[in-house]
A and B are shown apart, each in its own frame.
Chain A
Amino acid sequence: MNLTLDDLKNEWLARDRQLETSLRMNTMLLREAMLEKHGGSQGGAATGNLFQILFAIPFLAFFGWFIARHLDQPAFLIPALLLQAWTVVMLALTIQQRGAVRDLDYSRPMVALQGEIERIKIARLRTFKWAFLTGQLLWWIPFVLVLFKGFLGVDLYTVSAFMPRFIAWNIAFGLAFIPLAMWGSKLLVGRLDASPRFQQFTDGIAGNDIAVARGFLAKLARFEGDVAAR
């Protein structure tokens, strides 16, 4: 005898009644757990934002002070402006994205909510990728130049005849590193099974995670499209 899916549905629903009596919920305990957490309103996100702002303040203050003192010296002004802009942009993006995750409404219809999650994910992965790729450039030579000048009063451009070439080569290498890192990480996609964290990192730099997220968005769009019309 062949069972139909509708017969199976009846079996499924019959089990539902048993499930109702099997699952036990201690309402008192749950209520206590919920009310105990009353004071922790959105604490995780707020704490994260506060920590990040506190971490960024010394850098922002230092770069701001440095910029004000070197307005007439483009060789120092430009790196400091770039570092200041990087810090402000990353801080703003992280806080904005953290807020977007916090405000997700899981009671929205499945397709809408999953699409929103995926778009936030793409934005955050993109932020991570470019934070790393531009960070490795900015937080080396430009940062060291600003740091030495700001704290020690040392002008690294003139400390030796070799330094300007060293700086130029390092900046050139930092710029070249961006496409190289993207290319290299693409080669490593799916090849680092022994180290999931590093694999996740290289996937992020290669943009593989972004491609996966875009693939899911496309899948959602196909799912949403009316199949009867095709």
Chain B
Amino acid sequence: MQAHATLHATHTATHNALRESAPGISLDSMPPMNPTLTGEFLARLENHKRILFKVAYLYCRDRDDRQDLVQEMLIQCWRSYARFDERVQFSTWIYRVAVNVAISHFRREGTRIRDTVPLEDYGLNIAAADALFDDDGDNMRALRQLINGLDELNRALILLFLEGFNSEEIAAVVGISASNVSTRINRLKSRLQAEFNAQTEGQPT
């Protein structure tokens, strides 16, 4: 009886703690958005949708999980869009949301609460993009493998570097100083370069 009473009384706290370990974004928690704002959001998303996929690809190797991750990004972008105030560029904003969702996803792998709605129902088909990444050449594959060896924070830095952002722009996404970004990027570049060279030198010609 003791165990039963305790279990009963702490059930909600347990449930919430587990959810916190996996604070999945429920489809029921979609925010209201007027049709005009929805249209505006979708128009902007159309021009930046590849960002979601690229970030997802770097943080999640499993194809099914990646679908879930892109869906979470999409939903979170939509939820956050009402707060978008143009103080930063939309591309910076969407990178922030995508990287934040990806890191949260990355840190709770294995304990996620899956949604059952397929991404296709949201009108986003990423199968062709998956195929494109599958067809990557040796260099890109080697680079991806090296990036997979980085932790979640440095992975964001190198992604933004590869995307062509400068230090100030990366600093705006990541939230550290531009000088810190420069130093870290240079170190990461040296490290990845050395690892890349070692890897390619070891390959048969």
- The verdict on A5 contacting B124 (CB below 8 Å), with A34-B33, A111-B174, A124-B17 known, is no
Query: Which one of A107, A201, A204 lies within 8 Å of B84 (CB-CB)?
Result: A107
A-B pairs with beta carbons under 8 A, tally: 249
Contact status A105-B21, CB under 8 Å: no
Contact status A33-B122, CB under 8 Å: yes
CA distance A120 to B20 in the complex (A): 8
**Which residues of the partner chain B approach A195 to less than 8 Å between Cβ atoms?**
none
Q: Does B149 contact A (CB under 8 A)?
A: no
Q: Give the residue name and chain of the B residue nearest to A8 (CB).
A: B143
CA distance A220 to B16 in the complex (A): 25
CA distance A18 to B168 in the complex (A): 27
Closest Cβ of chain A to B122, distance in Å, is: 5
**Which residues of the partner chain B approach A219 to less than 8 Å between Cβ atoms?**
151, 153
Q: Give the residue name and chain of the B residue nearest to A34 (CB).
A: B38
- The verdict on A24 contacting B111 (CB below 8 Å), with A11-B139, A41-B31, A43-B29 known, is no
Contact status A19-B197, CB under 8 Å: no
**Which residues of the partner chain A approach B93 to less than 8 Å between Cβ atoms?**
107
Contact status A25-B184, CB under 8 Å: no
**Which residues of the partner chain B approach A3 to less than 8 Å between Cβ atoms?**
139, 196, 200
Contact status B2-A140, CB under 8 Å: yes
Interface members, chain A 121-153 (any B CB < 8 Å): 121, 124-125, 127-128, 131-132, 135-136, 138-140, 143-144
Query: Which one of B13, B50, B103, B139 lies within 8 Å of A127 (CB-CB)?
Result: B13
Size class of the B contact interface (CB-based, 8 Å)? 35 or more
Contact status B80-A5, CB under 8 Å: no
Q: Does A23 contact B (CB under 8 A)?
A: yes
Contact status A101-B23, CB under 8 Å: yes
Binds B, one of A60-68, A71-79, A156-164, A222-230: A222-230
Contact status B128-A22, CB under 8 Å: yes
In this complex, the member of A3, A44, A128, A144 whose beta carbon has the largest number of chain B beta carbons within 10 angstroms is: A128
Contact status B124-A30, CB under 8 Å: yes
Closest Cβ of chain A to B117, distance in Å, is: 9
Interface members, chain B 44-61 (any A CB < 8 Å): 45-46, 49-50, 53-54
Contact status A52-B12, CB under 8 Å: yes
Query: Which one of B12, B100, B143, B164 lies within 8 Å of A106 (CB-CB)?
Result: B100
Contact status B125-A19, CB under 8 Å: no
Contact status B50-A23, CB under 8 Å: yes
CA distance A136 to B39 in the complex (A): 52
**Which residues of the partner chain A approach B153 to less than 8 Å between Cβ atoms?**
110, 219-220, 223
Closest Cβ of chain A to B58, distance in Å, is: 11
CA distance A168 to B76 in the complex (A): 52
Contact status B31-A42, CB under 8 Å: yes
CA distance A227 to B80 in the complex (A): 32
Interface members, chain A 92-130 (any B CB < 8 Å): 94, 97-98, 101-102, 105-114, 117, 120-121, 124-125, 127-128
Of the A-B pairs whose beta carbons lie under 8 Å apart in the complex, a sample of 29, sorted by A's number, is A11-B140, A23-B49, A23-B129, A24-B124, A26-B125, A27-B42, A30-B45, A30-B122, A34-B78, A38-B32, A44-B28, A94-B13, A106-B80, A106-B97, A106-B100, A107-B80, A107-B97, A109-B96, A110-B175, A111-B174, A113-B175, A114-B103, A125-B17, A135-B6, A136-B2, A139-B9, A219-B151, A228-B179, A228-B183
Q: Which B residues fall within an 8 A CB radius of A?
A: 1-3, 5-6, 8-10, 12-14, 16-18, 20-21, 23, 26-33, 35, 38-39, 42, 45-46, 49-50, 53-54, 74, 76-80, 83-84, 93, 96-97, 99-101, 103-104, 107, 110-111, 121-126, 128-129, 131-132, 136-137, 139-140, 143, 151, 153, 156, 161-164, 172-177, 179-180, 182-184, 187, 189, 192-193, 196-197, 200
Given contact pairs A8-B162, A125-B20, enumerate 4 new A-B contacts (beta carbons under 8 Å): A37-B27, A41-B32, A55-B12, A135-B9
